A and B are shown apart, each in its own frame.
Chain A
Amino acid sequence: QSVLTQPPSVSAAPGQKVTISCSGSRSNIDNNYISWYQQLPGTAPKLLIYDNNKRPSGIPDRFSGSKSGTAATLGITGLQTGDEAEYYCGAWDSSRSASYVFGTGTKVTVL
């Protein structure tokens, strides 16, 4: 069972903006770095955002991340059909035994 909660799905037209929320707790999001991963259909996940708001080389600046307290947000502007994918947040959880936890996942649909 995931301890990070995301909306099951979001959608928007091409060129529009979507935001995906990730809700956690003090033991994960509040006290640790948040990351975001993109999983295109039938492929392995890819790191999209790390350390709350940093983009790895090659990730366009249409993707952005932010964090406030026990919640984080991924933003995608200028939505493209190629952005249709499942998106997951992730963070280390310091409660009891340390483990990395992923969000429940959000399906982005480009209308």
Chain B
Amino acid sequence: EVQLVESGGGVVRPGGSLRLSCAASGFNFDDYGMNWVRQAPGKGLQWVSGINWNGDNTVYTDSVQGRFTISRDNAKNSLYLQMNSLRTEDTAFYYCTRGIGPPPPSNSPGHCFGPWGQGILVTVSS
């Protein structure tokens, strides 16, 4: 069974940093692109960032470009999101999700996303 488990969330002050992790199991991790998607409480989905199978290609939504860094460790079957200079508007549930799309050696994070982790809450507040 495919499982994605996020960790590392919590409460942080504006301007602070946080690192999210996603532990993957049940599939060949290095065959897939991976992505982070967030959802502010009571709001819709917003794609945050994606990475291809080996980490050579990373993409970000404009509002986090330069502040967030996505990375992966295929030896540890893990995905990460380093979040710096956090703002109150970054408060959200953050979901780790597997990309579905062209197999390696594609540079795509995936055409679409599934399955998804259970989500982890990040709260940015003073």
Q: Which residues of A contact B (CB under 8 A)?
A: 2, 32-33, 35, 37, 39, 44-47, 50-51, 56, 88, 90, 92, 97-105
Q: By CB atoms of chain B within 10 A, which of A2, A45, A102, A104 has the most?
A: A45
A33, B115: Cα distance in complex, Å: 18
A-B contact count (CB 8 A): 66
The answer to whether B50 and A100 touch across the interface, beta carbons within 8 angstroms, is yes
A104, B117: Cα distance in complex, Å: 21
Complex interface: chain B residues within 8 A of A103 (CB): 44
For window 23-43 of B, CB contacts with A under 8 Å fall at 35, 37
Q: Is chain A's interface secondary structure helix, strand, loop, or mixed overall?
A: strand
The answer to whether B111 and A51 touch across the interface, beta carbons within 8 angstroms, is yes
Q: Is chain B's interface secondary structure helix, strand, loop, or mixed overall?
A: strand
A33-B44 contact given A44-B116, A47-B100, CB 8 Å threshold: no
The answer to whether A99 and B111 touch across the interface, beta carbons within 8 angstroms, is no
Q: In the complex, which of the residues A51, A56, A88, A99 contacts B45, with contact meaning CB atoms closer than 8 Å?
A: A88
**How many Å from the CB of B99 to the closest CB on chain A?**
10
A45, B22: Cα distance in complex, Å: 16
The answer to whether B116 and A100 touch across the interface, beta carbons within 8 angstroms, is no
The answer to whether B115 and A46 touch across the interface, beta carbons within 8 angstroms, is yes
Complex interface: chain B residues within 8 A of A50 (CB): 100, 111-112, 114
